[in-house]
Chains A and B, each alone.
Chain A
Amino acid sequence: QQPVQSPQAVILREGEDAVINCSSSKALYSVHWYRQKHGEAPVFLMILLKGGEQKGHDKISASFNEKKQQSSLYLTASQLSYSGTYFCGTLKTSYDKVIFGPGTSLSVIP
């Protein structure tokens, strides 16, 4: 079952912060986050594992609430390069198919 993402779209000015949410009705083992630029393939950002800690990469971090089957991606002090579509992908076990949400379109303007 496809995870739910919110919001569907967001427009930010450079330097502003954003949060993208991902939730599933199924128990999850891990949540992946990917970013896709227009006309390109998705690129891996980070992975949150069950029992793991909050991850961070530069000004992008994420959390995973196992009890609620929810993950959030935090983008702070956004840059123009952050523009793109963000997808969360979910796995129910450690070696499982990856099911993606519908995506969140993020646009950063000067």
Chain B
Amino acid sequence: NAGVTQTPKFQVLKTGQSMTLQCAQDMNHEYMSWYRQDPGMGLRLIHYSVGAGITDQGEVPNGYNVSRSTTEDFPLRLLSAAPSQTSVYFCASYSRGLTGANVLTFGAGSRLTVL
């Protein structure tokens, strides 16, 4: 049981390049989400999904695309990277339990630098 796996851990891009951050979980969690973390800004929600085929925008969705074709995977795409997207990205998921106590499990994070 690996939990939430993010790849790559580190990435350097040039402005205008595209890339995909991968996120996979093996816990059969319905809910998956992406956050970005910048100094002093906390964890800001980019996109989230409540199940396969369903995605929605979070607090800072501009410049990012997502899709959820399977329960396990939730990739985050940057179509044309900008220096403002330099950040640490976290993927997190939880199971929709009966008690309503939905605890997020985080991946280890991906550090992205856009030059």
A41 near B109 with CB under 8 A, answer yes
Chain A CB count within 10 A is highest, among B94, B99, B101, B107, for B101
Given contacts A41-B108, A44-B104, contact A102 B40 (CB under 8 A): yes
Residues in A neighbouring B108, C-beta threshold 8 A: 40-41
* B53 on interface, CB distance cutoff 8 Å: no
Q: Is the interface on chain B under 10, 10 to 19, 20 to 34, or 35 or more residues?
A: 20 to 34
A49 near B42 with CB under 8 A, answer no
CA distance A91 to B31 in the complex (A): 13
Chain A nearest CB from B49 CB (Å) reads 10
* Residue from the list B35, B48, B100 in contact with A100, Cβ < 8 A: B35
A: number of interface residues (CB 8 Å): 24
Chain A nearest CB from B56 CB (Å) reads 8
Chain B nearest CB from A50 CB (Å) reads 8
Residues in B neighbouring A98, C-beta threshold 8 A: 33, 45, 92, 94, 102, 104
Which A residues, 57 to 107, have Cβ-Cβ distances below 8 Å to chain B? 87, 89, 91, 94-95, 97-103
A30 near B45 with CB under 8 A, answer no
* B90 on interface, CB distance cutoff 8 Å: yes
A94 near B100 with CB under 8 A, answer yes
A102 near B42 with CB under 8 A, answer yes
Residues in A neighbouring B96, C-beta threshold 8 A: 95
Residues in B neighbouring A41, C-beta threshold 8 A: 90, 106-109
Given contacts A41-B107, A97-B33, A97-B58, contact A30 B100 (CB under 8 A): yes
